[in-house]
A and B are shown apart, each in its own frame.
Chain A
Amino acid sequence: MKLTKETLQKIDDVIPRYPDKRSAVLMVIHLIQDELGSISDETCEWIAEKLDLQPINVKELITFYPMLRETPWGKTHIRVCRTLPCALRGSYATCQKLEKKLGVKEGHVREDGEYSIEFMECLADCGEGPVVMVGEETFENIDEKQAEKLADQMLKGKLEKSADFVSYEKGLLSDSPSKAKKSSSKTKK
């Protein structure tokens, strides 16, 4: 297992924040998973040694928490909210549309490793459902129609700069177009 200097430094920074080393385990796992995409048995052993634990103490977390991975997701990972409030706004159709457009079933990684889709539980943005996360960014009100457009932008590599899709996170920066767009779409509804 190879980690960059930056990640190793971050790991060393995060451990002393806690009164007990073991508490740092989730944060250490996150840091490594961010870089490697998943946590192998070898990595479990490395983390265990780092934190004076047994490998099973790490492994049992990887197999418990939904967001910890034994194998990596695709290069672009898409999370679609499945839970009731989003489902009531059509998230099943959203997920099916994305599956079709991107050529991969939810819970799986496309053969070329480009895309993966996860139909997951509540993303805590229920007022703007269906909610879709692309990587670490949250896109709101992605119904079936919008999902088609979102997938097109992704496939063309244009989502990053898209004016039609401004994520919740980017919308927080004041004066961004999404704030204006949001208020107008609210009144339109």
Chain B
Amino acid sequence: MGNLIVRRVTQMLLIMLTVSLLLFAIFDSDQFREKAAVAELGGFGVATLSDSDYHEWLERKGLNAPFLSRYGQWLRSVLHGELGRSNEKDIAVSALLGESLANTAILAFFVFLIMIPVSLALGVLAGMNAGSPVDRVISVVAVFTTSIPQIATAVLLTVILGLGLGWVPTKSAMTDGWSFRALVLPLLTLLLYDIGYLVRMTRAAMTEVMASQYIRTAVLKGLPYRRVILRHALRNALIVPVTLIFLELNGLLSQVVVVEVFFQYAGFGRMLFDAANFGDIQVLQAATLVAVCVAVGSQLLSDAAYVFLNPRVRFA
């Protein structure tokens, strides 16, 4: 186990180094420098600059410094815990990152809080009774909700719950302070997709377990059905869904881009979107580090959970 953690962490650091170098290399191009100039002065403003004035402008903004010195400087400051300053939003990247991560964490917390019990219960229920009307209904609904893209779900929910019934605000900008009502639409949008997915996976695992020899043996030797399900079936059936739940942490980080941008929720996804739009390199770099960290971290957690639940792969 200790070995695994060391391996994963080393892997993470290497990925971070490679990705940040790649990003820096992409942003070192003339094309990006022009993008930065256009972002600041506008297409019409840049058009008024002569070539030498343009280069002077780049010099003033520190965009003309040699690649290695800029990368080295960035690396040094990151090692000192300094993530730099957002060019677009004029605040420290660490503050921006902290705030938006906290907002996304709130969203993610509620997603998991509702998704895990609901989808495991439904999935197990469907898997236990494979082929029954209950299974059919649950499966069809699950396939339906996963097959609608989130952007469509978001529009549908806005029209019905926000504009039609007027129960919840249409956008989640929360200009008057934090409110759970404003969180409802992004939450539902994420949940509809994620629950559907997890229900299908749980159902598949449960069906497979229910068809196995040892369950038949357990039923035949006269154990109460309840005990068969809870003691024998669930423990094995839940291995896959539980590892998936941890991986979902990572999946959520990319899903929130669509949902947060659509609902104008000030989370990690929107920050990433804005930074990409404006070529805000310091923010992009920091966001990438976080994304790599979450990706590798969730993998590690998922591995650990797998090992814990499945004695067959437990390390000596």
B is a partner of A: no
Q: B-contacting residues of A (Cβ < 8 Å)? A: none
Q: A-contacting residues of B (Cβ < 8 Å)? A: none
